[in-house]
A and B are shown apart, each in its own frame.
Chain A
Amino acid sequence: MNELQHIPWGIVAPLIILQLILAVIALIDLVRAERTNGPKWMWVPIILFVSMLGPISYFVLGRRPF
């Protein structure tokens, strides 16, 4: 618990929030997409757990343009 108090949340929180927004938008798009490149379920862990690069790779590689 002591450790957590040392983290300056005022600085780090915005970054975490942006990361969350990015992942949520990628997930929304994934759910709404009819088809993706590669199986749909595969993208869920990638978006959630591969830091910032997960959602980005979904947007540029996973979604089909039309």
Chain B
Amino acid sequence: MKQWFVLFRKELLEAWRNYKWIWIPLVYVMLGIMQPISTYFLPEILEAAGGLPEGAIIQLPEPTGVEVMVKALGNYQTLGLLILVLAFMGTISAERVSGVAGMVLVKPVSFASYLTAKWASAVCLTLVATVLGVLGTWYYTEELIGPVSGSAILAGCLLFGLWLTLLVTLTIALSAMMRSSGAIAFVTLLVAAALSIVSSLSGTKLSWMPGRLTNYAGAAIAQGGMPDGAWGAVISTVIGMILLLYIAVSVFRKKELVA
């Protein structure tokens, strides 16, 4: 355990020194608050863009706070996810390619600790970025658009954070098993897309699928609390992550660390 914390501290320090701890949360805050700001200014933006005939009345439906918050989560689902995957795809593979993984693992270091310390650090960063982003967005939404309840934010944040955590876990697990960063990112994004599509096509049948988490997060914000069936998806996601880590450690242990 002591060794695990040494590894974990090194990961945090590395993410701090290469500014991941600054730029990822910063980008999440910006991605989030852009949504309420651009919604607020939409009429003016349209006006400034011109092109509307004189006297035309723009009938825009008055957006609600909930709608804006859900849209902001949508930004995290696309660009936000892409950034996380790109930022973490080399977590282990790059260390193996450069040879520094060999330098560390000739020391009596447990493979499981090496891998889970990196995972834990990436998850911390993901969750902090998500929470800060959502809080910033919430503040702007309440100021500019309309109220959203705290319990809605809490439940939405939890469900969406879990979804991102699952995909970061997948990124790191693949990083332990594959060498090419591009392939790692590609497979992760493919799996994310597949999970979302399968759960949206399956109707109410596969309501426990991890792919549902994003829908549940939206529903949580709309309802102001955990929606029905969400816990099933939470449990399956947690089990999925444990399984992924287990597989990654067993595969990684069998890998030869040098070419």
Contacts and interface: CB of A to CB of B under 8 A. Distances in A.
Interface of A: 11-12, 14-15, 18-19, 21-22, 25-26, 28-29, 52, 55-56, 59-61, 63, 65-66
Nearest to A53: B79
Given A18-B29, A65-B90, A59 B23 contact: yes
27 contacts: A11-B37, A11-B40, A11-B143, A12-B37, A14-B33, A15-B30, A15-B33, A15-B37, A18-B26, A18-B29, A18-B30, A25-B19, A25-B22, A26-B23, A52-B27, A52-B31, A56-B23, A56-B27, A56-B83, A59-B19, A59-B20, A59-B23, A60-B83, A60-B87, A61-B86, A65-B98, A66-B98
A15 B34 contact: yes
Nearest to B90: A65
A66 to B, nearest CB: 5
Nearest to B93: A65
B202 interface: no
A22 to B, nearest CB: 5
B43 to A, nearest CB: 13
A66 B97 CA distance: 10
Nearest to B94: A65
A63 B23 contact: no
Given A15-B33, A21-B26, 13 more contacts: A15-B37, A18-B26, A21-B22, A22-B23, A25-B22, A26-B23, A52-B27, A52-B30, A56-B27, A59-B19, A59-B87, A60-B86, A66-B95
The secondary-structure label for the interface of chain A is helix
Contacts of B34: 15
B23 A11 contact: no
A52 B27 CA distance: 8
A52 B26 CA distance: 10
Contact of A22 (B20, B30, B94, B95): B30
A25 B23 contact: yes
B100 A66 contact: yes
Contacts of A61: 86
A26 B19 CA distance: 8
A11 B34 CA distance: 11
Contacts of B204: none
Contact of B19 (A12, A18, A29, A66): A29
Nearest to A61: B86
B52 interface: no
B59 interface: no
Q: What 7 A-B pairs are tightest by C-beta distance, nearest first?
A: A60-B86, A65-B94, A66-B98, A18-B30, A65-B90, A25-B19, A22-B26
